Each structure stands twice: as structure tokens, then as C-alpha cells.
Amino acid sequence: MWTEAEAKALRVLSRIGITKSEAARRLGRHQSTISNHSRLAGLTWKPPPKRPPRPKAAPKGSQPRPWTENDDLLLAQLAAAGVPKGLAANRLDRAYNTVWKHAKRLGLMFEPDREARLRHKQWDSTRRSQ
């Protein structure tokens, strides 16, 4: 039950410039109770302090190797020669999806090759075990 003494204390606390959460702590009430009674009484409160922004998480794993002009030229030559994407990825020492996405960005077309991903996966697993 909300008493007149609590209402008076709420008005005093709102004038001294504290936050609603601090007023709730001092009165031993829940913050929503303070908010409701403050709204009904037309009281204003100091805004709560802003949280500092979260630090950005460090990227996981190693950074991808940037594409050079020579890499772009070799990729274009391999596409023109009809080499499948999987073999082009092996030749460039890059992941299949990396080659596929970069070729798409450059507008290069490769011959369809259903076994390319499998070949590259086998190649990649032998490369990692070395």
C-alpha cells in the first residue's frame, strides 16, 4: 500500500536530482512502483547514466589474405581456360568459397564442376596435416 509519507518522500527525492532506481532503492520499493507513482504525480527524474559502448570483439581466426592484381589476373586466366573453381582454388591456395565469391565479384564465369568442392576439401585436409 502506498502511503502519503512515501508520496511526500518521492516528491522530495525527485527534486534533489537522483535517478528513479536510486529513489526505489532508498524507499525500498520496486522501480516500476516508483515509475507509476511518479507518472501519476507528474514528477521528473534525472535520466540514468548511459552505459559505455561495448568494446568490439577481436575477429576470430586469421585475417583473410587480400586479393592482389596478380591474383585477379590469374583467376581470370584460369576462368578463361575452363579450369573448374575447385582446381582454381587449389592453384591460388585459397578456399573454394573465397574463390567463388571473388570470381562472382569480378564477373568471371567458371565451368560447372560438381566434384570441385570435394576435391578441394580433400586437398585442404592434406594441406593442413603437413
Q: How many residues does the chain have?
A: 130
pLDDT at 44: 87
Same domain, 28 and 77: no
Q: Would you give per-residue pLDDT tens digits along the chain (130 residues)?
A: 888 999 999 999 988 888 899 999 999 999 999 999 999 999 988 888 888 999 988 877 777 789 999 999 999 999 998 888 888 888 898 888 889 899 999 999 887 776 666 665 665 566 665 5
Phi, psi angles (nearest 5°) of residue 16? -80, -5
Residue 53 lies in a domain: no
Residue 98 lies in a domain: yes
Residues 6+ apart with CB under 8 A from 34: 10, 20, 23, 24, 27
Residue 51 lies in a domain: no
The amino acid occupying position 125 is: S
pLDDT at 45: 87
Cα–Cα distances in Å, from 31 out to 14, 24, 65?
A: 13, 5, 52
Query: Residue 80's domain spans which residues?
Result: 69-128
Tell me the C-alpha distance between 69 and 20, whole Å.
Answer: 60
Tell me the C-alpha distance between 6 and 40, whole Å.
Answer: 14
Number of structural domains the chain divides into: 2
Residues 6+ apart with CB under 8 A from 109: 79, 103
Residue 122 lies in a domain: yes
Same domain, 84 and 123: yes
3-state secondary structure of 29: coil
